[in-house]
Amino acid sequence: MSQGFGLSATARLALLQRLSKRKEDAGPAPGAARAFRELPGQRDMEMIREAAGALGLENPFFRPHEGIAGATSVIGNREVINFGSYNYLGLNGDARVIAAARAAMARHGVSASASRMVSGERPVHGQLEAALAAHYGVDAALAFVSGHATNVTVLGHLMGPRDLILHDAAIHNSCAEGARLSGARRIAFAHNDWRAAERELAAARRGARRALVVIEGHYSMDGDIPDLPRFIELARRHDAWLMVDEAHGMGVVGAAGRGIHEHFGVDAREVDIWMGTLSKTLSGCGGYIAGNADLVAWLKHSAPGFVYSVGLAPALAAAALESLRILHAEPERVARLQGNAALFRRLAREAGLDTGTSAGLAIVPVIVGSSVAAARLSQALFEAGINVQPILYPAVPDSAARLRFFLSSEHTEAQLRATVAALAAAMAGARPAEVTAPG
């Protein structure tokens, strides 16, 4: 694994010398500033910024979008083809979703103003939770104000020091942070390898009071999916709970977008805990847990991230509820999304690009094997009118650096073909021709 943003040892040394001289020229920093500069990762970030500047690379992150970020977006007064948003079904910006959010604001204001336990319910909260439970065919659901916080607070609260959490090595940061907070013994198994998971669980289960297996329904970095029936079997065999993070699966996986359980024809009640977010297909912001009524009631009265947090904004709850209604009423959106992702993956592979283990459902990485190369490709494509983010070290090993394409039901075939052609040209060392966003 590279430790230097894809730079050679000589280049890294030169950068470190430049950084050292710059610090000497600046003089000693005040105590607090000096302490902040010593925070973990600060020096690495500074070196990466310096390396990018030396290579003439712009910062590809935090670019302001001037309108709705869907299949296209406006960045810097220029319309670009956009592959950087989770707006999988094009519902963020749908007139019906906006109208629902406006109606909720007109009725309840912008904020819930306090914890739901303290300030009371808004009808839209209960309506959203009932719809989420019905989506999975389970007893109940509970909506939280943040998707990341949902995993942190639920895992941190549900499990304890005498317990075991077994999770996929590629699990989202929020799950890893929740597991760490819990104090439980944590074991990561090789990505998407249910056999490795079972070996680890069999070896560690006897010494644990409770055990929880955590996987994702659609992995955000690789775009692949787990063998859900196998994970259900191994969890049952070893008396463990199974939790599935469906953040990127809702509206994406399954013929009607109901998720990984629909894809495999599995009863959703076979999974003990469903987790998901409201910020992707459901075009809001927040998270949810769906499952057993006793579990949901316990979380509602005891989970710190729910009891001590402000309630979900009524407008966001209403937007998510309307998006869920449209998802169920218009499954053709899911078919278009899956068709676009499958086409993009096929075109990329035909062009000799490495798409890894992507299932071709909504997320298709193109692995280039160098953080510098990924950053350069992202910049070249942006200059050609295509917005796609690079995933760089340390988020992934330098050898696994990539561009990550989030597909939408609203992308056109022309846009997809033009994007693959531009990417292939850039990877071959040519300057890609400028493309037009409307397709």
Give the amino acid at 283.
S
Closest CA to 223 of 378, 90, 343, 357: 357
Catalytic residue among 280, 309, 371, 409: 280
**Burial (Cβ within 10 Å: 0-12, 13-18, ≥19) of residue 429:** exposed
Rounded to whole angstroms, the Cα distance separating 3 from 198 reads 33
End-to-end CA distance of the chain: 39
Whether 167 and 186 have beta carbons less than 8 Å apart is answered as yes
Contacts of 32 (CB under 8 A, 6+ apart): none
Catalytic residue among 167, 248, 261, 263: 248
Q: Is 280 a catalytic residue?
A: yes
**Tokens representing residue 182 in the block:** 């819990």
Catalytic residue among 220, 358, 370, 409: 220
Active site residues: 220, 248, 280
